[in-house]
């Protein structure tokens, strides 16, 4: 990248932003990273990193630190809402060689990534007050009144991206038709330590991902109108009532939930953009292409984005040509993953009695190798 020696600004210290900052630091490119939150906060959800994300971390020599806090996920299981198994797939058959699938609390992953940077290199509790996207650089004024000039500004500030709202189309978030609760709980008897699984009901699902230290990451999705908001203890009551008809280990897990602050609740949305670049402004991760959390691709794509953009910039004659190549080549790959993840969600969220009966029958009778082959073609093929 033949540009004057200038800084890169990363807006958002999430998974994509921290990974990109680490890569730039390793390649000798100076950068600032800002985050609107005061702290990374407590762990309230678990995430899955597939084998491609692990490969990217491995290439950056980040995998040892991450693995210390993660669990391997070797199987994916689907059951009906009462816990009767419909399918059990060996994920190692579609994983990259020597690259396991991992589960880890999101907050733990952020702290592990920030460990490579040092706390002083992240400006917490900081936002952008004004930004001027010029031909030769980007002038930025921050919320504390300070200013800076940058050769590139990268928006890694998630689905509610401030950068996207300032420089890209505003009405590009599409509601997927369902909302999601997420929380952590203690391990209960009957959960296989290396298996992630979902219980499928009528218009709703309950998912469980084993984590380390006797903890599990849980989520519950249900078909709904967008914009629901539950305050205080109502959040706990709605979660429990929504899945009161589920059997298996779900009731025992729900009994543990008492405090609304332990639960995250969000609408599930996709973000579709025709382009991820605007001059010297770039979006990556959920800011560019948020997708439904089916098959655990969100965090992995954020890491892959950071790794791939650095490669395009390093091997392009100019910064702008590198951005253009990244935008044109990666967008189609990610759009395909978004499509298949969305279709999987629609299939799993069926609500009619007949539709669910057919859905469960199809999952039960299709051979596991067919399910795995379909998943590999959808999510892992370039």
Distance CA(374)–CA(93), nearest Å, equals 12
Distance CA(65)–CA(88), nearest Å, equals 30
What is the pLDDT at residue 379? 63
Helices (H), 176-267: 233-242, 250-254
Tokens of 281: 């402004």
What is the pLDDT at residue 95? 84
Same fold, 7-74+100-173+269-347 and 176-268+350-380: no
What is the pLDDT averaged over residues 293-316?
88
DSSP state for residue 380 in the 8-state scheme: I
pTM for the whole structure: 0.93
Asked whether 200 and 78 are in contact (CB, 8 A), the reply is yes
Mean pLDDT of the chain: 91
Give 363's pLDDT tier (boundaries 50, 70, 90): very high
Looking at the chain, the whole-number percentage of residues with pLDDT higher than 90 is 73
Pick the closest to residue 206 from 177, 249, 176, 175 (CA basis).
249
Highest mean pLDDT: which of 81-85, 190-194, 307-311?
Answer: 81-85
Distance CA(286)–CA(167), nearest Å, equals 16
Q: What is the pLDDT of residues 180-196, one digit of tens each?
A: 999 999 999 989 889 99
Tokens of 3: 């540009």
What is the pLDDT averaged over residues 296-315?
89
DSSP state for residue 98 in the 8-state scheme: T
Q: What is the pLDDT of residues 2-34, one digit of tens each?
A: 444 579 999 999 999 999 999 998 888 899 999
Cα distances from 185 to residues 75, 190, 208, 219, 325, in angstroms, run 20, 14, 10, 10, 43
Measured in whole angstroms, the distance separating CA 58 from the mean position of its chain's CA atoms is 19
Measured at the alpha carbon of residue 221, what is the angle toward residues 216 and 223, in degrees to the nearest 5? 175
Pick the closest to residue 54 from 313, 307, 318 (CA basis).
307
Measured at the alpha carbon of residue 307, what is the angle toward residues 165 and 278, in degrees to the nearest 5? 30
Q: What ranges do the domains of the chain cover?
A: 7-74+100-173+269-347, 176-268+350-380
Give 348's pLDDT tier (boundaries 50, 70, 90): very high
Question: Among 150-154, 338-342, 350-354, which is the least confidently predicted range?
Answer: 338-342
Architecture of the domain whose range is 7-74+100-173+269-347: 3-Layer(bba) Sandwich (3.50)
Q: What is the pLDDT of residues 120-171, one digit of tens each?
A: 689 999 999 999 999 999 999 999 999 999 999 999 999 999 999 999 977 6
CATH topology of domain 176-268+350-380: D-Amino Acid Oxidase; Chain A, domain 2 (3.30.9)
Give 316's pLDDT tier (boundaries 50, 70, 90): confident
Measured at the alpha carbon of residue 151, what is the angle toward residues 145 and 154, in degrees to the nearest 5? 75
What is the pLDDT averaged over residues 64-88?
93
Pick the closest to residue 96 from 58, 47, 44, 123 (CA basis).
58
């Amino acid at each position: 990248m033949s540009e004057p020696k200038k800084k890169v600004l990363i807006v958002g210290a999430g998974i994509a932003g921290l990974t990109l900052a680490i890569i730039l630091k390793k390649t000798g490119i100076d950068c600032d990273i800002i985050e609107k939150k005061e702290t990374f906060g407590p762990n309230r959800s678990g995430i899955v990193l597939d084998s491609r994300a692990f490969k990217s971390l491995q290439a950056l020599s980040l995998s040892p630190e991450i693995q210390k806090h993660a669990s391997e996920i070797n199987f994916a299981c689907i059951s009906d809402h009462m816990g009767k198994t419909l399918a059990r797939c060996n994920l190692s058959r579609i994983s990259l060689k020597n690259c396991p699938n991992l589960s880890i609390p999101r907050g733990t992953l952020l702290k592990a990534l920030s460990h490579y940077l040092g706390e002083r290199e992240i400006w917490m509790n900081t936002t952008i007050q004004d930004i001027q996207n010029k031909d030769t650089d980007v002038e930025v004024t921050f919320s504390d009144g300070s200013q800076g000039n940058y050769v590139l500004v990268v928006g890694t500030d998630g689905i509610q991206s401030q950068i996207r709202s300032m420089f890209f189309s505003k009405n590009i978030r599409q509601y997927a038709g369902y909302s999601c609760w997420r929380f952590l709980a203690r391990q209960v008897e009957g959960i296989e330590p290396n298996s992630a699984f979902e219980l499928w009901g009528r218009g709703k699902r309950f998912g469980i991902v084993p984590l380390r230290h006797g903890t599990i990451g849980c989520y519950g999705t249900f078909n709904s109108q967008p914009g629901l908001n539950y305050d205080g203890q109502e959040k706990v009551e709605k979660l429990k009532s929504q899945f009161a008809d589920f059997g298996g280990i779900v009731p025992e897990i729900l009994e543990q939930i008492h405090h609304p602050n332990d639960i995250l609740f969000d609408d599930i949305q996709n973000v579709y953009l025709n382009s991820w670049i605007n001059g010297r402004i770039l979006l990556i991760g959920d800011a560019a292409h948020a997708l439904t959390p089916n098959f655990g691709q969100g965090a992995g794509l954020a890491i892959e984005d950071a790794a791939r953009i650095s490669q395009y910039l390093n091997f392009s004659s100019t910064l702008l040509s590198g951005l253009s190549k990244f935008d044109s080549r990666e967008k189609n790959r990610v759009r395909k993953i978004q499509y298949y993840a969305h279709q999987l969600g629609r299939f799993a969220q069926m609500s009619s009695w007949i539709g669910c009966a057919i859905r469960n029958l199809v999952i039960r009778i299709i051979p596991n190798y067919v399910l795995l082959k379909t998943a590999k073609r959808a999510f892992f093929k370039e």
